[in-house]
Structure 1
Amino acid sequence: MQLDKIDARLLDLVQRNNRLSSEELGAKVGLSASGVQRRLKRLRSGRIIEGDVSIVSPKAIGRNLSLLVLISFERDRTDIIDSFKRAIRKMPEVMSGFYVTGPTDFVLLVTANNLEEYEHFTRCLVHENPDIKRVESMVVLDRVKAGFTLPMASIACW
């Protein structure tokens, strides 16, 4: 899908605040409200916009612990990797999961209420996956920056 300067500006605005009205967006990008709605519909149907979400504070709901979890497998087989990908998509504790290069196979961002809950999570994870060779955990001390905002300058200058 071809994106222009207006698409880039709309994407920048809605990824920072998806509660702006079509009228507010239109005023900022120089389009009518209906023009904004048409573009947003096209961006959603083209899967440029993958979803509209609210970011909830983990601490506000008692998720006081965040961890980066490095997973390494005994063998690098496609069926093992695909099975693990499917499994982590179903785990509500896994906020993000990445299949990576290097000495580790996966990096997960995991949340828990406390260390006991995390211990239970890791026991289940390892028990359910006999091909896991190593699990390394790093406790997040401070969430310095969190978000999903992508830089739009590379698409079009405005």
Structure 2
Amino acid sequence: MEKTGELDDFDRKILHEVQIDNLLTSAEMAERVGLSPTSVQRRLNRLRKDGVIRRDISVVAPRDVGRTLTMIVSVELERDRADIIDSFKKALRQDPFVMSAWYVTGQTDFVMLVTARDIQEYEAFTRRFLHDNPDIKGFRTTVVMDEIKTSFYVPPWG
């Protein structure tokens, strides 16, 4: 849903601020963007209703909750059929081990970000989610050694 043509500079300033700290009060946000708190709240409600702001979430440090391994997994499907693609997308959305996932072009069909407590838990995940799926041709795992940056920030200016 593209809304960029409908966003003005105040909307973009609000989007910038809310991505940095979504716990700001309307008064704090208003001071930063140059609007009244009521106007900020009205705009935030519209941005959420229109789907520009998809969700308000907290980003949790995986290691701090015992998820010591993070992997980037590239998956190649056996066949490029819509029903197989849709089924795999549904499985990705539902599995709690999968933090993020993308349907991509190139040599692989999907890329996913996965966390696990340890290598044994990851192996169990691969058996359950990948090896036991007859529609998976193959997959490659890259283990993350050091998290350099984690961000969902999207520059609001075109």
> Which TM-score tier does this pair reach, normalised by the shorter chain?
over 0.9
The alpha-carbon deviation at position 126 of structure 1 amounts to: 2.3
TM-score for the superposition, normalised by structure 1: 0.95
| Residue of structure 2 equivalent to 1:102 | 106
Considering Cα pairs closer than 8 Å and 6+ residues apart, tell me whether 1 or 2 has the greater RCO.
Answer: 1
TM-score for the superposition, normalised by structure 2: 0.95
| Residue of structure 2 equivalent to 1:73 | 77
| Residue of structure 2 equivalent to 1:114 | 118
Q: Is 2:13 the counterpart of 1:14?
A: no
| Residue of structure 2 equivalent to 1:53 | 57
Structure 1 CA distance for aligned equivalents of residues 119 and 133 of structure 2: 21
Percent of aligned positions that are identical: 51
| Residue of structure 1 equivalent to 2:67 | 63
Q: Hey, which bits of structure 1, 4+ residues long, moved more than 2 A?
A: none
Structure 2 CA distance for aligned equivalents of residues 153 and 77 of structure 1: 37
| Residue of structure 1 equivalent to 2:147 | 143
| Residue of structure 2 equivalent to 1:27 | 31
Q: Could you tell me which amino acid in structure 1 is paired with residue 64 of structure 2?
A: A
Compute the RMSD of aligned alpha carbons: 0.8
| Residue of structure 1 equivalent to 2:137 | 133
Unmatched 5+ residue regions in structure 1? Answer: none
The alpha-carbon deviation at position 128 of structure 1 amounts to: 4.1
Q: How many positions carry a matched residue from both structures?
A: 154
Unmatched 5+ residue regions in structure 2? Answer: none
Q: Could you tell me which amino acid in structure 1 is paired with residue 63 of structure 2?
A: K
| Residue of structure 2 equivalent to 1:39 | 43
